[in-house]
Amino acid sequence: MKTFRRLLLLGLFPLTGCHTVLMAPSGDLAIQQRNLIIDSLILMLLIVVPVIVMALLFAWHYRAGNKKASYDPDWDHSTMLELLIWSAPLLIIIALGALTWVSTHKLDPFRPLDRIAAGRPVPADAKPLQVDVVALDWKWLFIYPEQNIAVVNELAAPVDRPIQFHITASTVMNSFFIPALAGQIYAMPGMETQLQAVINKPGEFNGFSANFSGDGFSHMNFVFHGLSEDAFAQWVQKAKAGGGELSRDEYVKLAAPSEQVPVHYYAGVAPNLFMAIMGNCVPEGSACMNNKAAAPAGGEEGAAVPAHGADSMAAMPMAHP
C-alpha cells in the first residue's frame, strides 16, 4: 500500500501547483488523514480504472470495421459476468466501510493521541500542551492556561509534544485549520470542540479560518510555529514580556470586530476566561448561558467549574481531512 501511495503522490504532484501541504504535511494526524484519502482513492480506482479500460477495449473490439468480432444478438445472461459485476464493487464497499469505521474512531479529534509518529508511541510521562482557541471577529485568540499567557494571531508548540486544543467562538461559527497539523475543526459560540494533534517538524506553518464569517474573514490568518522545547520556552518568555494582562474588560475590547490585527501578547490571563467566553458572560455582572461558566473574581455570577471539557455545554467533533 505504501508503494501505491508514493506512486499516487507522484501522479497528483503536477495538480497541486506550489502548495503541497495537504499531501506533504508535518503533523502525524494530518499524515494519517492524508493516507486515509489516498487509501480510499486507491480502493475506488480498483473499480473505476478497469471499467474505463474495458469500456475503451469493448468500443475498439466491437467497432464496425472489425469483421472478426462475434455478433450474438440472442445472448442475454452470464452467471460468471454477473458475479464479477456485483462481487467486485461489493468487496470495495465493504473495504471502504471498514476503513471508514476504523479511521473515524482512530482519528476522532477528541481521542487522546496514542502515538506522536509512525512507530513512536506517546511517552508515558508526556503531558499534552493545552491551548484554548477562541475565534473572534476577525482574529484568533490563543490562551495557554499552563503558561498563563495569551496571544493574538500567533500560535506555537514544541515539536513531538501532544497538543490538546479546546476550541470555541465568540459570535459566529468559524473553522480552525492548520493544514500541516491536522484537519479543520469548527469553532462555534457557546460550544466547545477539541483537537488532539502533534507537530513533528520545526518550522512556520500557515493557519486560518476555513469557514466564511463576515467582512474580515479573509484576514483571519495566523502563523503556527513548530519549535524545540528550548525555543518554545523562549517564546513563552517573549509573550510574558510582551504586554499586560488579558482581563475580562480587556477581552471585551479585543472581541470587538476588527481586521488585520497584528500579533499581540498578554503576560497574564483572567481566571476561567475561556469558560466565561463559552458561557457568554465575560462582562462583570452578566449571567452565564448555562450557569456553569466561571464567575468573575468574587463569585457572584454562576459557579466555578473544574477543568473545562469535563462539564462543558456541548461538544461536537467536526473534523474534515
pLDDT number for residue 167 = 98
pLDDT number for residue 75 = 83
**In the chain, which residues have pLDDT < 70?**
1-19, 290-321
pLDDT number for residue 318 = 43
pLDDT number for residue 300 = 42
pLDDT number for residue 285 = 78
pLDDT number for residue 286 = 82
- Map residue 258 onto helix, strand or coil: coil
With b for 16 or more beta-carbon neighbours within 10 A and e for fewer, the 239-249 pattern comes to: beeebeebbbe
pLDDT number for residue 299 = 45
Retrieve residue 183's grid coordinates: 484537519
Q: CA separation (Å) from 147 to 70, 106, 130, 231, 240?
A: 79, 30, 9, 14, 9
pLDDT number for residue 73 = 80
pLDDT number for residue 70 = 84
CA nearest to 158, candidates 22, 27, 20: 27
pLDDT number for residue 7 = 55
pLDDT number for residue 306 = 40
**What does residue 164 show for φ and ψ, rounded to 5 degrees?**
-115, 105
What domains does the chain contain, in order, with CATH numbers? 2-60+79-106 (no CATH), 115-320 (2.60.40.420)
The pTM assigned to this predicted structure is 0.80
How far is residue 202's CA from residue 19's CA, in Å, rounded to a whole number?
A: 18
The per-residue pLDDT for range 128-154, each reduced to its tens digit, is 999 999 999 999 999 999 999 999 999
